A and B are shown apart, each in its own frame.
Chain A
Amino acid sequence: MISNALSLMIAIPLLGAVVSFFAGSKAKFVALLASLAPLALALQMYSEFDKTSKIMQFVESYNWVPSIGVKYTVGVDGIGFPLVLLSAIVSVLVIIYSWGETKKPNQYFALLLLNEVGVLGVFTSLDFFLFYIFWEVVLIPMFFLIGSWGGPRKDYAAIKFFIYTHVASLVMLLAIFALYFTYQNPDETRTFDMLTLLAATANKTIFPTSLLNIIFAGLLLGFLVKMPAFPFHTWLPDAHVEAPTAGSVVLAALLLKMGGYGLFRVIMPMLPSVDKAFVTIIAVIAVISIVYGAFMALAQKDIKKLVAYSSVSHMGFVTLGAVAFTWMSVTGAMFQQFSHGIITCVLFMSAGTIQHVVGTRVIADLGGLADRMPKFAVLMMAGFMASLGLPGMSGFVAEFMVLTGSYATLPTYTIIVVFLSVASTAAYHLWAMQKAMFGPILKKYMNVHDPHNYELFSMAMIIVLALVFGIQPGLMTDIMGTAATQLMEPVKTLTQMGVI
């Protein structure tokens, strides 16, 4: 067992980012090495991970600023670890996919690594202060990725992305301060320790419900904007449309997961102690996100925007599963985070490849590309199938678990989702696929050909993963299930909470 594995995982890409910045055209090799190391560490940790343990594992804790109670504490459990693994996998694949980047490659790969540092930090921090720092760190590389390598409206999109999510983070920060300033340790010291503060929120004498409601709302807003959930999703389509492909992939696969992670880590432990109306509010937001995202995707002309809206829809399942508060739905929601993280990569990579091979992403202008790009078409098709929930792929398992689990406690909402979204989800995926890839080939596309092998390789790896986790979901759900049991422990069901 490697000691300090988590710190190493954060430190290596950070070092890699600095080295690649100065490595010029060799940056991609540095970046690949620096991202393979965390993956190796994550796999090593997976083999050592105690799937039945309910406590934090691989914990490291050092004093940082004792005078205000800030510690450097990292650790993972069933909520965080799958996302750590996801971040490590996606970072490697996205670097391979971007192998041919020629515009300022040193900065490009440095920013991708910096992004990895940020998300790994968010998923492992157990100190609110540290958590907030990493949360903000993530914004900076993404801002530059969109702003420097983006499309025609990149400046607008980058600034909108930054300000929108930064304002949400500040609201979250206010809520964190409220937690911090309300709770005192038994020895009258203050702490930013996440688990201590979250456990304390159950104590009504320290956190009266009226205060906790406000804190809860602040935190919830921070996470819902990041997810993003309706009506806070408007930054996402702009950011995605303008971002370079790698930026979009990281944004959808990892950054959105930070919001979902917050739901499990922070929101769910507080849910039993706050006003019951929140359950309804969150459930409504989840359902609208799922349905609205699907219908908006149906209406898009740009294939990348379609994928962006499909993210809104799919992330709605995470919210729904979390708030339905059954073991099945919560486990399914966590699995949906992981599964969507993988599958969305292939979708955005497809959109990116079409853009740079054909020169447009407008679905109406495409047609018959499968004829000239057979390998790509197979992979893209597999990705779209995985995304629409084809049985045998991981997305199906996750959404099935969420819907089955939610039906027990939130039947009306679940039925609305099933009726309104399942068919439209299938429709927009199939329609886009059919229109863009199949049918007679347009004359102007006679000269297009399959993309580079490194792009195909990244996509293929993701399809393999989606299949592996679709057929053998237990690889992940065992870990997540323990975490879900742990989350359900204080209050077993929504009935006990008095919601239904």
Chain B
Amino acid sequence: MDFTHYAPLWGEALLTILAVLIVLLGSLMKNSGKLMGYLSAAGLVAALGLVASNLTLKPALFFFDTISVDALSQFFKAVFLVVSLLVVIASLSKYTGKGADEYYALVLFATVGMMVVSSSIDIVTLFVGFELASLSTYALAAFDRTKKNLEAAMKYFIFGSVASAFMLFGFSLLYGMTGSTRLADIAVASLADFGPATLVALLFVIVGFAFKMALVPFHMWAPDTYEGAPPLVSALLAAGSKKMGFAAAFRVIIIALVALRMEWYLAFAILASLTMTLGNLAACWQNNVRRILAYSSIAQAGYIAIAFVVVGAAYGADPVNVLNLGMLPADQLGIAGALLLILGHALMKTGAFIGTAQVASNVSKESDTDPDDISNYAGLAKRAPITAFCMLIFMFALAGIPPTAGFVGKFVLFSSAIYSGLVWLAVLAILNSALSLVYYLKIISYMYLKEPTGSKMPEKNGYVVALVLTMLAVVWIGVFPEQFVNWALQAAAVLLPQ
């Protein structure tokens, strides 16, 4: 058997073996948490290296054409690996004791699941990857075993299962109608003939994905879960597992269900407008920082969903001269913008949640009040200057202020809306960005303008390293966006007819 044939999948293989190894070693060795953490970090770096070594290769198909390694899958894998790596680095300061091996193993399994999803071009494989990631994160959400954790995990589990059920039901209808589980075959069959049942399938699939992506009105679980789960797990959920929803939705909806694009165009136009507006409005009234971040994450999902509207409006449109990128169709630009925003948002959110973890880890020692309450952020600039500064950059980046990663993604995405004639959507999105500043500014003003309520916080090394790395990446992408834009465009081309 020729293993080099599978070289593009070595990353997944490596992480799977490592995760199993960690579980095994963890049961044999005592107090090996720290070692497991370093092992996981090393494994993730290696996997990232493997993914990075072939970022934009020609699509390669594996396992009876169910897995495709292409520019798009590599883009998402890079995002997931970076997020997991940052979370693991931060976790090195928290999960070191008993049971830490399970934590790292679960993070790795979740990462593998996400990677499988981003490569899947078959609905069964996709579902398996989805469940692998979901089950691991359900367990992670309850990892600290506090009452809040359990409630959050329960909620996440129930909603996640309902979403999976919807998705699976939609998939089964698709299979029944087309006789195939491969996305490309479904696309051909449904283009040839689609009846009312296809619409029902579309409805179920959209609802299933909308739960995962936390689009309004299917978002209710997200604030509770992000607030209640351990903060580092929230980072993984918001930045990783939620983006997995987009990875899956891009493939299933844009490739397999292209025949119904007028229908999902309308559905996503409504979902995107509702999500960004309600997400931002709701965030303005929150006083819990993690809830603010959760609602901001919902709003960002609304922006990202604009890509579906753009593709629906401009699918197969003639290439026009967009920006200075040469002749490109507007739909490709839209997906590229969404990918850039996914990349940027994954980084900013990971960073922001790690920041809350830093604060919570210090506050919860002092009192038994809600550690994420915004009053704990008063004077953070004095109590934890590095954390506060990184949070400041993340808040500005989330609001889309240049030159940060948040701006680049929004700029390309909103431009694509203009190119596809959706000026109203672009204007709504920009107005929403202005609105979002209200609550980001609230956090900033607490951190920098209020007098501190406690003594100086010890800033833990793991958190600091993860925060600074993330902050540098967010600024780097903002100042030198060129290569990232090109990369995202190549990834976007995978979804569209050549």
Contact = CB atoms under 8 A, between A and B. Distances in A.
A239 B205 CA distance: 51
Interface string A65-86: 1111100000000000000000
A181 B419 CA distance: 8
A181 B418 contact: yes
Given A65-B481, A159-B445, A188 B430 contact: no
Query: Which of B433, B448, B449: most chain A Cβ within 10 A?
Result: B449
Contacts of A420: none
B448 A162 contact: no
B323 A190 contact: yes
A189 B324 CA distance: 5
Contacts of B442: 159
Nearest to B444: A143
Interface string B393-416: 000100001110000000100010
A155 B449 contact: yes
A66 B402 contact: no
Nearest to A133: B402
Contacts of A177: 415, 418
B485 A67 contact: yes
Contacts of B485: 67-68
Contacts of B411: 68
A147 B392 CA distance: 15
B325 interface: yes
B119 to A, nearest CB: 28
A184 B321 CA distance: 9
Contacts of B482: 65-67
A144 interface: yes
Interface string A457-478: 0000000000000000000000
A184 B419 CA distance: 13
A163 B431 CA distance: 12
A144 B448 contact: yes
Given A136-B401, A147-B448, A174 B430 contact: yes
Contact of A68 (B324, B437, B448): B324
Given A68-B411, A181-B418, A174 B427 contact: yes
B317 interface: no
A154 interface: yes
Nearest to A149: B449
A189 B403 contact: no
Chain B at the A interface: mostly helix, strand, loop or mixed? Answer: helix
Contacts of A188: 321
A159 B284 CA distance: 14
Interface string A138-164: 001000100110000011001100110
B434 A167 contact: yes
B321 A189 contact: yes
Contacts of A67: 323-325, 481-482, 485-486
Interface residues of A, number: 30
Given A144-B448, A181-B415, A166 B437 contact: yes
A441 interface: no
B402 A170 contact: no
Interface in B413-427: 415, 418-419, 427
B57 interface: no
A18 B324 CA distance: 34
A453 B437 CA distance: 42
B441 interface: yes
Contacts of A184: 321
A366 B430 CA distance: 48
A163 B399 CA distance: 12
Q: How large is the interface on B (under 10, 10 to 19, 20 to 34, 35 or more residues)?
A: 20 to 34
A437 B418 CA distance: 59
B270 interface: no
Contacts of A133: 402-403
B20 interface: no
Interface string B430-453: 110110011001100100111000
Nearest to B412: A68
Given A65-B482, A173-B430, A174-B430, A163 B449 contact: no
Nearest to B414: A177
Contacts of A162: 437, 441
A132 interface: yes
A216 to B, nearest CB: 17
B486 to A, nearest CB: 7
A190 B418 contact: no
Nearest to A104: B382
A154 B449 contact: yes
Query: Which of B441, B450, B485: most chain A Cβ within 10 A?
Result: B441
A171 to B, nearest CB: 9
Contacts of A68: 323-325, 411, 485
Contacts of A69: 323-324
Interface string B471-484: 00000000001100
A242 B190 CA distance: 65
Contact of A163 (B323, B401, B419, B441): B441
Contact of B449 (A65, A148, A170): A148
B434 A170 contact: yes
A154 B451 CA distance: 12
A155 B419 CA distance: 40
B173 to A, nearest CB: 41
Nearest to B435: A167
B248 to A, nearest CB: 29
Given A66-B324, A67-B486, A136 B448 contact: no
Interface in A120-143: 129, 132-133, 136, 140
Interface string A473-497: 0000000000000000000000000
Nearest to A66: B324
A159 B441 contact: yes
Interface string A37-80: 00000000000000000000000000001111100000000000
Nearest to A168: B434
A65 B479 CA distance: 9
Interface in B9-34: none
Contacts of A144: 448-449
Nearest to A166: B437
B423 to A, nearest CB: 9
Given A148-B449, A155-B449, A136 B402 contact: yes
A155 B324 contact: no
Contact of A132 (B402, B430, B441): B402
Contacts of B438: 163
A190 B412 CA distance: 14
A65 B483 CA distance: 10
A500 B279 CA distance: 50
Given A148-B449, A177-B415, 13 more contacts: A67-B325, A67-B482, A69-B323, A69-B324, A136-B402, A154-B449, A158-B445, A159-B442, A163-B438, A163-B441, A170-B434, A173-B430, A181-B415
Interface of A: 65-69, 129, 132-133, 136, 140, 144, 147-148, 154-155, 158-159, 162-163, 166-167, 170, 173-174, 177, 181, 184, 188-190
15 contacts: A65-B482, A67-B482, A67-B485, A68-B324, A133-B403, A147-B449, A148-B448, A158-B445, A159-B441, A159-B442, A166-B437, A170-B430, A170-B433, A170-B434, A174-B430
Interface of B: 321, 323-325, 396, 401-403, 411, 415, 418-419, 427, 430-431, 433-434, 437-438, 441-442, 445, 448-450, 481-482, 485-486
Across chains A and B, which 5 residue pairs bring their CB atoms closest together, nearest first? Answer: A147-B449, A68-B323, A69-B324, A170-B434, A188-B321
